[in-house]
């Protein structure tokens, strides 16, 4: 929980720097951040357990898939908070992830952890949700209001993680789905370029180009709203 709060606060500080034209933190998207690794023993044990649950599900054991859902639904729900801050929407997105995972279970390859495979599905589901909302959205979020919120938070000694996350969601929502996704993966989730590439299904070059364009668009929007 502390790492989530810290990351959200860092995003607010980043937004404050954007607001005042200091753009150094976003100018270099490098892939030198290694993913957190489990110990070999625990990773092998989890993988074996998951493979058994997948095989049992494919053989018709409904309880086996329920065990997969129970094991990973909290992690997927946390990830889907990047795509919406509304509890009912998050619940629906998590449901969609596990339905899609169930229908695609034959395609799972045990060479990768099951959670990583689920996270790739979650990114697709979340991206589709954003794309649909972009086409349907009629309310335009005021960048001036977002800037006011950034300045207000910047003046506070302590920042609520909930408020920071809501503000960050509003800030990113002014971008298109592709821009929003790449910045979410690289800067909010802290993925490396390689990790973002795999989760989004893009090449690493595409991730870097999209990130550059997204940073440029976000900077321009914030400067125009001053």
- 150-201 residue pLDDT tens: 555 555 545 455 555 666 667 777 788 999 999 889 888 888 999 999 999 9
* Strand locations in the chain (E): none
Q: Which residue has the higher pLDDT, 75 or 171?
A: 75
Confidence of residue 218 (pLDDT cuts 50, 70, 90): confident
Report the 10 Å Cβ neighbour count for 116.
Answer: 12
Q: How far apart are the first and last CA of the chain?
A: 34
Nearest Cα neighbor of 82 from 154, 181, 191 is 181
Mean pLDDT of the chain: 74
Using CA atoms, how far apart are residues 66 and 56, in angstroms rounded to an integer? 11
Tell which CATH architecture fits domain 2-25+39-224: Orthogonal Bundle (1.10)
User: What pLDDT score was predicted for residue 175?
Assistant: 85
Q: Are 145 and 99 in contact (CB under 8 A)?
A: no
How confident is residue 141, by pLDDT bands cut at 50, 70 and 90? low
Q: Would you state the structure tokens that stand for residue 216, as one six-digit string? A: 């440029």
Q: What is the full DSSP assignment across 125-183?
A: HHHHHHHHHHHH--PPPPHHHHHHHHHHHHTSSS--HHHHHHHHHHHHHTS-HHHHHHH
Angle at 2 between CA 151 and CA 200, to 5 degrees: 80
Q: What local confidence, expressed as pLDDT, does residue 16 receive? A: 43
Task: Render pLDDT for 97-119 as a digit per residue (tens, 0 to 9).
Answer: 999 999 999 999 888 899 999 99
Residue 65 pLDDT: 95
At residue 143, does pLDDT exceed 80?
Answer: no
Length of the chain (residues): 226
Tokens of 192: 């490396």
Closest CA to 123 of 173, 27, 174, 191: 191
More confident residue, 17 or 32: 17
- Does residue 123 carry a pLDDT above 90? yes
Residue 134 burial (CB count, 10 A):
13
| Segments making up each domain of the chain, as ranges | 2-25+39-224
């Amino acid at each position: 929980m502390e790492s989530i709060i810290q990351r959200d606060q860092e995003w607010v500080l980043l937004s404050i720097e954007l607001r005042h034209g200091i753009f150094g933190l976003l100018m270099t998207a490098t892939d030198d951040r290694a993913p957190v690794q489990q110990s070999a023993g625990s990773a092998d044990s989890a993988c074996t357990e998951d493979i058994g649950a997948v095989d049992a599900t494919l053989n018709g054991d409904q309880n086996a898939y329920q065990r997969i859902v129970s094991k990973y639904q909290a992690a997927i729900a946390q990830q889907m908070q990047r795509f919406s801050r509304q509890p009912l929407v998050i619940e629906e997105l998590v449901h969609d992830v596990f339905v899609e995972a169930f229908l695609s279970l034959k395609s799972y390859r045990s060479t990768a952890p099951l959670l990583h495979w689920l996270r790739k599905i979650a990114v697709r589901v979340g991206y589709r949700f954003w794309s649909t909302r972009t086409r349907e959205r009629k309310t335009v979020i005021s960048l001036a209001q977002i800037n006011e919120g950034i300045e207000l938070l910047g003046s506070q000694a302590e920042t609520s993680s909930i408020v920071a996350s809501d503000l960050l969601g509003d800030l990113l929502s002014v971008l298109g789905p592709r821009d929003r996704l790449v910045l979410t993966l690289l800067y909010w989730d802290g993925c490396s370029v390689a990790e973002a590439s795999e989760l989004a299904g893009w090449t690493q070059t595409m991730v870097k180009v999209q990130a550059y364009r997204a940073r440029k668009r976000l900077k321009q929007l914030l400067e125009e709203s001053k």
